Structure 1
Amino acid sequence: MLPSEEIRYYAEHHSKINSITFSVRVPTAGLTCTIGPRAVDLIPSSRAVTDGQGNAQRVLLSAVVMPTRTTLDPSTTESSLLSLKLTALPSVQSSSSPSTSISASEFPPAPLPAAQLQGLINLGCEACGNILLENNGDSGNQDGGGPIQRVVDLPSEHWQELVDCWMCHEEDFTELREGDLGARIGQALVGGTYILIHAADVNQSSVVIEEDAQAIDWTKGIKRRWRPLACLRCLYPVGDGWYQSVREDGTDLELIQAKFHKYTVTFKGQDKNTGRQLSIPRQRFVSYVAAEIFESARHHATYRFILQDRLEGQDMMLMWMLNWDSTIITNQDTVQDSEVVWDAPLRLDLRTLATSQATMETEQARGKRVMKVLYLRLLSEEHYESEKQEGVYSKEMALWDRWRGDPGVESLQFQKHFFSVILEQSSRCLPPDLNGAASTVLDMDGMRVGFIELVIEK
């Protein structure tokens, strides 16, 4: 079949309920589908008799299904996009655990735990390569070494919920304030999305508080606060600093701890026995987004989130995790490079996206595992003011108000453009007819379907 004649399809496999929804754009003449056990053969009805199976477009499935054969006729419906519900035969693992509910123990671990960071000695800015920690190597070699001697996992992302945890692990953690845990000198504490470093190990001439976050009233509230950090050389965001102030005017700020985001830094490792340089690969940004969501779901049993701008704390988006373990298979067009502006931490996502898309089109493809979500962008100020003047209260605005007032909704913070670009991109793989389908089913008007690709270590 010629590329111009390729039939567009989209399949979504929900392993929890052993179901595959297979949607296909049916040609005017109709379509014959030969299904199972591991693939779907698509044959335009005009060729089914003359060409048999030789000219079929084969779609490999991510699970075994019962073999069958069916003919789709678009003249019987108002849409050319038709869907088939296929029953996936349970695997050995799923048959021993038939429950369809999400189990927190099944959530994938966060990328790059301490076990994978052994040998870490220094960190660099992902955008420009600027060394962020003190260099303990040869003075003549700017990349000579680093201060990190020990790498330890943090017990949880939610430090303040671990009452007196630090008392049981004094060799690993030091108390900062009311349950907050801090790294000791020469130590790196590894969280799901960041690495915590003692201030004495940070090259403070390499980092600066981001300009938009420098103004703060230290006369109100506590005297220790997290402030966004940027690389001094290129002003690219690299993490957060835990600062304290003695004077009320905030002119004597002292850095206590630094929290570097894994997706904004590069890792320098060294074998302590041989001195050989170790390669510590970076993971995709979406992997850390998923880790944040899993951590909140695991500890708070919540699946609804308000995403905020890390720098300004402004609301950006509503997100509802529908299913964390889906598999999608599609040949829908993806977003073009020129259509979005990619920040440095997203370049790896872009390269991986192109590679995975090419891989999905090969015969060995089995799709990609994703977290399925619904999301709704914040309405613009102009839109909001227009509705207010006209006395209109849209369903989108009502949804924002309900979620903001719901204590069961968690807040997560990311750099402003990172997350929205990923979700907008993922929505492009859905046929237009399906993109808003969840709204009518779940009465979540205005929300779009998006996917966060999961990178799961086997």
Structure 2
Amino acid sequence: MQRTLLSQRLVMAAALGADQPCAPAWSEASSAASRSPGRVTPSPSCRRRCGGRQRMQRSAGGRAAASCAGSWSCCAGMACGFLLEIRRGTQSALLVIREASLRNLPADITVEPGRLEVRSGAACGAAALPPGVSLAPSSCRGLRLLPGDGLRLRLRLRDAPLAPELAYQLWERLKPQKNYILYCQSCGDVIVKERKFLRVLPLPSENWSALVEEWCCHPNPFARSALHPQHDDCFLGDTFLLLNSRNQSHVPESSKCSSETEHHTSQNDSTSKLKENTRVICERCKKTLGETVSSDTVKYYVTEVIIWPSEENFSTVPRSQFIQSMVAQCLVELSSAKSTFRFIIKGDNGRIYILIWLLNSDTLLVESSGSSSSHSVFTLFGDNFVPSYGPSEMWNAVKVLYQPCTKNRNKDLADAWENDFGVHPLKFPSETCLELLLMLSMSTASLPPSLQRMNSFQVAFLKM
């Protein structure tokens, strides 16, 4: 009896429609003759074959794609693509088995606490879930077959998995009384030689002066003063850090390095040239690092430099991984500190590039592109973010809604957000804003079609 209860087979019958949900109907004893389309019943044969595993069988016309979490061991040439979205807060998961992976029907899907298996004809693929991820097979629900998506189901987790360690955490890494070296993120050249920061202090928000006038009964005593760091200071802003400009290896932007100024319209020509003259670039790769604030103060954007302890061996971080991680950390930090979830991504030229709405920050992603079209996701900058075969890693991620604002798209919404005090602006180099928009678009394209949009916004993940 105990073996019977532990061994349950989920059967998705041949008559299941393309978008018809399959609701579990549990029964301790049933026969193959009693199965009805779209119902889930135990199977004695599965108990003998699977030994307590939970098994789902689908018989339906068309193709389906497999998308599971972990390392797939492929047999008979089957390549499996999957997406597993885990929410730590609710201990739940959404599993999407992509349409391109199940070539022959019927197909069997076996769900175990630490393993998934897909069999389609003579081909099969098995996935060992990452350590710490344990599914509850009996919690399978919401089984749906959607055209273009594949097979989707929701499960509960037995335990909340621990989040993997982030590759680079600026706010956790930067501490006073320690020696650091600043490197260019793009080429690894030394920007600031070894320096010990005696003070590492957060800067007030950009509208702090207006808040002083609202909350204080006296005039702002700091209205005419500027917050400039001394040689041993490091001031941290939302998306940048301020350093004293002594002993730094950048060069001011000159006319031979500036190709942007000539392309601006005559209306903004003088303003653009003035902005170009304050830009700070890397001496080796000519990448924009920040801008000069005064004769002795430089602003470095957190997406362009890496601060590394001098006693540790420096290792580069792939560009797309670094940008996603830093932007995601900025969103999480600000949403926690200021209870704001809507952000405007602005370039250093003052233009609005993206509107971002932070949806959740407790997501863990496990995915494999298999042979699907998502094989190239996050590889445009040479980063193997999603391996097609072999072990699949688990990533911290934030789920965002976004609207692109380039070429005057969504201008009315951008204007409304810009005048909304509940929206927080984030400033990055213009080139980085375009890179970020491209990464968001690629993330959206890698999702199943039904998950790519929410109302009028596009959906994407930023991996941390």
- Contact 1:65 1:87 (C-alpha < 8 Å) held by counterparts: yes
1:25-424 alignment to 2 at 5 Å? 25=98, 27=102, 29-44=105-120, 46=121, 55-58=124-127, 60=129, 63-68=133-138, 81-91=150-160, 110=170, 113-115=173-175, 118-120=178-180, 123=182, 125-126=184-185, 132=191, 148-156=195-203, 158=205, 161=208, 181-189=227-235, 193-202=239-248, 206-208=251-253, 211=258, 215-216=270-271, 227-231=278-282, 235-243=286-294, 255-265=295-305, 270=310, 278-283=312-317, 284-310=322-348, 312-332=349-369, 333-334=373-374, 336=376, 340=380, 342=381, 350-351=382-383, 354=384, 356-358=385-387, 361-363=389-391, 365-378=392-405, 380-381=407-408, 396=410, 399-416=413-430, 417-424=434-441
The residue matched to 1:67 in structure 2 has which SS?
strand
State the distance in 1 between where 2:282 and 2:125 align: 54
**Which amino acid letter does the alignment assign opposite residue 317 of structure 1?**
I
State the distance in 2 between where 1:263 and 1:77 align: 39
Using a 3 Å threshold, how does the CA distance of structure 1 residues 304 and 177 change in structure 2: closer, same or farther?
same
Q: Which has the higher strand share?
A: 2
- Contact 2:91 2:159 (C-alpha < 8 Å) held by counterparts: yes
The residue matched to 2:230 in structure 1 has which SS?
coil
Using a 3 Å threshold, how does the CA distance of structure 1 residues 338 and 419 change in structure 2: closer, same or farther?
closer
- Contact 1:114 1:190 (C-alpha < 8 Å) held by counterparts: no
Using a 3 Å threshold, how does the CA distance of structure 1 residues 35 and 378 change in structure 2: closer, same or farther?
same
State the distance in 2 between where 1:368 and 1:420 align: 20
TM-score between the two structures when normalised by the length of structure 1: 0.63
- Give the match for residue 22 of structure 1: 95
- Contact 2:352 2:406 (C-alpha < 8 Å) held by counterparts: no
TM-score between the two structures when normalised by the length of structure 2: 0.62
- Contact 1:322 1:373 (C-alpha < 8 Å) held by counterparts: yes
Q: Which has the higher helix share?
A: 1
Structure 2 unaligned spans of 5+: 1-73, 213-220, 262-268
What RMSD in Å do the two structures reach over aligned CA positions?
4.4
- Contact 1:154 1:191 (C-alpha < 8 Å) held by counterparts: no
What displacement does 1:7 show? 3.8
Using a 3 Å threshold, how does the CA distance of structure 1 residues 235 and 263 change in structure 2: closer, same or farther?
same
The residue matched to 2:460 in structure 1 has which SS?
strand
State the distance in 2 between where 1:374 and 1:153 align: 33
- Measured against aligned partners, the alpha-carbon deviations of 1:28-65 in whole angstroms (never above 9, x if no partner) come to 62432222312222223x46xxx9xxx44325266322
Structure 1 unaligned spans of 5+: 95-107, 134-144, 165-174, 244-254, 272-277, 343-349, 385-395
- Contact 2:328 2:462 (C-alpha < 8 Å) held by counterparts: yes
What displacement does 1:230 show? 2.4
Aligned residue pairs total 354
Using a 3 Å threshold, how does the CA distance of structure 1 residues 56 and 198 change in structure 2: closer, same or farther?
closer
Using a 3 Å threshold, how does the CA distance of structure 1 residues 16 and 451 change in structure 2: closer, same or farther?
same
